[in-house]
Amino acid sequence: MRKILSISVCLALAACSGGSTGDQHIVQLPANLPVAETVNGTPVPQELVDAFVRVKAAKADMSNPEQRAEILRVLGDYVLLAEQAQRDKMLADPKFAAEVEVARLSALANGAMIRLQQQTPISDDALKAEYEAKVARMGKSEYDFGNLLFASEDEALKAAGELTTGKPFAQVYDEWKGKAAQSKVFSHIPAGQLPEPLAQALAQMKVGDFSRTPVKTQFGWHVFHLDAINPVTPPEFDKVKDEIRGALQKKIGEERLAKLKQQAKIEYPAGSAPTVVKPAPAPAQPAPAVAPEKKG
């Protein structure tokens, strides 16, 4: 609650700082709106209450008198604290004024991004096409497998060599897990979530098989044992439709922001331009399931 109060007071003061010197209203909304409460003469419009519920308390039931009273109490606290900050002339402190400006810009940027995302309607046909593409990327099988990941090919070859002598994988796993970069047993991992070389190797194996030679991915060298193969059951379209819509809207917003950046003229003082480091190429297949974990 303290964090929410801090942000909201910043936004209230940002509204005050945006006007003329004599414009010191705490709540910067039209005066003719219906009022939900008044705090020290400052009207708190119902529109502000509704906005608070949308942004900060989406699960609140405003038909419940106790919950409505709590929302009004919190907004009243916002007004009182914003008044105190105004009396203390906190905006005269450049550091605090900058924090207020960050809060204001953040709120505007978030609102603008939502507007950009919603400007292009997404049809059910587009949602269905994206759903089918995702299902195709998942593959038809998901795997249970034990995996030893090595940074060194030499160590991976030694571990794989022990398997070829007939030593059980469980024993090799226990003996090498302390030396491996990662040792983990994975369950129900769709082929589409695995690095392509690993997915291809598993697809050629039968339950009970192990990798006779280590498999190289962007994470290192894998030595693994296939425990089970299960058919992938994709989620029903209606259950993930909203999630897919959100992902597509996010993509639309990012594309429009990229276009704004291309059209923008951004300048820096001499010698202060930030150094741009190009990110490493993304892997062909997402592989969060087998990314190395830090040893504890």
pLDDT in tens, 104-116: 999 999 999 999 9
The verdict on 10 and 73 lying in the same domain is yes
Q: What is the pLDDT of residue 275?
A: 78
DSSP code, position 235: P
| Model pLDDT, residue 282 | 44
**Rounded to the nearest 10 degrees, what angle do helices 46-56 and 65-87 cross at?**
100
Please state, in angstroms and rounded to a whole number, the distance separating the CA atoms of residues 104 and 8: 10
Percent of residues, the chain, with pLDDT higher than 90 = 74
Percent share of the chain, pLDDT over 70: 85
As a whole number, the mean pLDDT across the chain is 87
293: left (phi over 0), alpha (psi -120 to 50) or beta: beta
Mean pLDDT calculated for residue range 68-82: 96
Residue 191 domain boundaries = 140-231
Is the per-residue pLDDT at 3 higher than 90? no
Query: What's the rounded mean pLDDT across residues 193-206?
Result: 95
Is residue 282 a part of any domain in this protein?
no
The reported pLDDT for the residue numbered 25 is 84
Judge whether 285 lies within some domain.
Answer: no
**Whole-number pLDDT of residue 24:** 67
Spatial CA neighbour of 149 closest among 287, 289, 292, 283:
292
**Residue 139: strand, helix, or coil:** coil
Domain shared by 249 and 226, yes or no: no
**Rg of the Cα trace of the chain?**
28
Residue 226 is assigned to a structural domain of this protein: yes
Write out the two tokens for 22.
């004599």
Helices H / strands E in the chain, number of each: 9, 6
Q: Which of 195, 187, 211 is nearest to 286 (CA)?
A: 195
| One-letter identity of residue 35 | V
Domain check: are 91 and 13 in the same one?
yes
pLDDT at 280: 52
Residues 196 and 245 in one domain: no
Question: Residue holding tokens 């409460």?
Answer: 37
Q: Which of 118, 149, 178 is the last residue of a domain?
A: 118
Furthest CA-CA distance within the chain: 86
Question: Kindly report the CA angle at 284 between 283 and 287, in degrees rounded to 5?
Answer: 60
Pick from 231, 253, 277: which residue ends a domain?
Answer: 231
The number of distinct structural domains making up the chain is 3
Q: What's the pLDDT band for 137 if we cut at 50, 70, 90?
A: confident
Is 62 within a domain? yes
**Mean pLDDT, residues 74-98 taken together:** 95
Confidence of residue 15 (pLDDT cuts 50, 70, 90): low
Judge if 152 and 194 occupy the same domain.
Answer: yes
